[in-house]
Structure 1
Amino acid sequence: MILDYIKYLLKAKDEHSLHSPFVFEFYTKVLKNKSYYTEYDVIETLRKQLLSDKRIVNITDFGAGAKTNKSIQRTVEDIAKKSLKKPSLAQLFFRIIKFYQYKSILDLGTSLGLTTAYLGKANNEITLKSFEGCAETAKIAQENFNKLALKNFEIVVGNIDETLPEKLQKTEELDFVFFDANHRYEPTIRYFELCLEKAHDESCFIFDDIYWSEEMKQAWLTIQNHESVSVSIDLFWVGIVFFRKKQPKQHFILKF
């Protein structure tokens, strides 16, 4: 991954190299937006609490699992240290949803719920479904959502292979999806194709850890080359795609 990151740094561009008006606007008004929103404060306060939470959780993992700690018993503190998205990434997701006024949100991989909270706090009209395989982790996430007074959300507990198709049958369209449930090629592509059926011209899909493994690198390559994807953006930590039919198909590696 270190070599991949060096390659990314050598290739990453800023706004001076962008000739696409849509991507230029995304880069200058969303990605590099330095505004600090008050919603960040309460979520980051909760992060500090989780980073010192000694409670033991019995983990049920249907995905690729943790690279550094594969124990079925972990402390909340350890999960928070290893699994929570960095504030800069979670706050980027918040800004994307806020800027484009997305309302129908899916979060594939709740964990302790901090990133989910950023998604849910981006505007007051959001309907959010967050999927989590581990019932004990989902219980703690629910506690966190209650503390944050997060509204119009649902935690869907169980194997996402079963729960995602079921929920999508009852979903008309998707504005924004964050894929962080299973870091393997086949499930990632399968979830992408399932959600793609509900995507529209302005939808945004974000894929976590696109350089996490050879399987994830291959999955990201498959996704960015998919015929439905018009704009793909590599930020190293995540990959972002848009489906704007009138947009020329282009791939961007941007500084973050």
Structure 2
Amino acid sequence: MNYLKENQDGNLPIEKIRSTLLNNTNQIQVLDLGAGSKKVPNPSREIRKITQYSTSSTKFCLVYQYFCNLTSSQTVIELGTCMGISTRYLAEVTKGRLFTFEGSPEILNAARFQPFPQQVQAILGPIESNLEPLLSQLEAVDFALIDANHTYSGTITYFNWLLPKFKKESICILGDIHWSSEMEAVWEEIKSHPKVKLSLDFYECGILFFDYPGEKTHRILSL
């Protein structure tokens, strides 16, 4: 992908924020509302370890940014703020509003040690309580990144809530599609949905398109 080659160092100001977080040894209490973390399962975690193990790499932040930029990006939704690195990458190409959802108060507080860009609205609390009320106020969703909960039930619920708001031109990304048997199962189900016309499996994430000129297609790709 030329976009990755052209931007291989990422966004330097954002990567500086990542570096600061990777050097932050402060411990915070994490409220897990989904499957939790395999690497740092304890509720008390160092910010640097959350950043190391639960934040998308520069490469995949650029992937999310690239596909978001293929849409009109007037309404962008991110489920799973974590340390806000992918949030900041998406904000760079969001032309309207970016709504990012985080369940853990102390994680969101750490992510906002530097203010988010003005187009970002962070929503704190369970996605199960907050997503539907927001969607009821929106005409459409141009781009969505589902990178939270990491259970079958949570992921399929979020996708089904978002689906009526997707346009043909919308793009949806699922993070960690091979993270567990539950995530593999939900990826298989979602990519088989009749409204999904093209799906791309990059192993770490899956890309869903709702408009494609050919027959329904699934591709496994590497970066």
- Are 1:61 and 2:28 an aligned pair? no
* 1:105–1:127 contact (8 Å) kept in structure 2: yes
2-structure distance, mates of 1:187, 1:77: 27
**2:161 is aligned with 1:161:** no
Q: What is residue 164 of structure 2 aligned with on the other side?
A: 197
Kept in 1, the 8 Å contact 2:178–2:203? The answer is yes
Q: Quick check: 2:76–2:98 contact (8 Å CA) kept in 1?
A: yes
The partner residue of 1:50 within 3, 17, 21 is 21
Contact conserved, 1:104 with 1:176, CA < 8 A, in 2?
yes
Paired letter, 1:244: D
Does the CA contact (< 8 Å) of 1:120 and 1:126 recur in 2?
no
* 1:233 maps to 2:200: yes
Partner of 1:107: 78
Check whether the contact 1:90–1:118 (CA below 8 A) recurs between aligned residues. yes
Structure 1, unpaired ranges of 5+: 1-30
CA contact (8 A) 2:71 2:171 kept: no
Task: Please state how far the C-alpha of 1:187 moved relative to its aligned partner.
Answer: 1.1
Moved more, 238-247 or 183-192: 238-247
Match of 1:188 among 134, 148, 155: 155
Q: Using a 3 Å threshold, how does the CA distance of structure 1 residues 163 and 176 change in structure 2: closer, same or farther?
A: same
**Normalising by the residue count of structure 1, what TM-score does the alignment of the two structures yield?**
0.83
Matching of residue 134 in structure 1 with residue 104 in structure 2: yes
How far 1:254 moved relative to its partner?
1.3
Superposition map of 1:72-111 within 5 A: 72-111=43-82
**Pair 1:244-2:211 in alignment:** yes
Give per-residue Cα distances to partners, 1:50-108, cap 9 Å, x unaligned. 10011221110101000122111111111111111010000111122224342210000
Structure 2 unpaired stretches of 5+: none
In the superposition, the TM-score normalised over structure 2's length comes to 0.94
Which of these two proteins has the greater Rg computed from alpha carbons? 1
Aligned pairs for 1:16-31 within 5 A:
31=1
Q: Which amino acid aligns with 1:205?
A: C
Which secondary structure state, in structure 2, belongs to the residue aligned with residue 63 of structure 1?
Answer: coil
Identical residues among aligned pairs (%): 31
**Structure-2 separation of matches of 1:250 and 1:167:** 31
Work out whether residues 39 and 121 of structure 1, in 8 Å CA contact, stay in contact via their aligned partners in 2: no
- The ranges of structure 1 where at least 4 consecutive aligned residues each deviate by more than 4 angstroms after the TM superposition are none
**RMSD (Å) for aligned C-alpha atoms:** 1.6
Aligned to 1:22: none
- Contact kept in structure 2, 1:202 and 1:244, CA below 8 Å: yes
SS at match of 1:236: coil
Classify the secondary structure of the residue corresponding to 2:11. helix
> Counterpart in 1 of 2:139?
172
Normalized per residue, which structure has more helix?
1
AA aligned to 1:214 is S
| Cα distance in structure 1, aligned partners of 2:30 and 2:193 | 34
User: Residue 220 of structure 1: which of 167, 177, 187 is its match?
Assistant: 187
What per-residue deviation string (whole Å, max 9, x for no partner) do you get for residues 10-30 of structure 1? Answer: xxxxxxxxxxxxxxxxxxxxx
Which string of whole-angstrom CA distances, capped at 9 and with x for unpartnered residues, describes residues 198-254 of structure 1?
Answer: 000011000011110101000000011001100000001100000016542111111
Contact 1:211 1:236 in 2 (8 A): yes
Distance 1:72 1:206 in 2: 28
Contact 2:10 2:58 survives alignment (8 Å): no
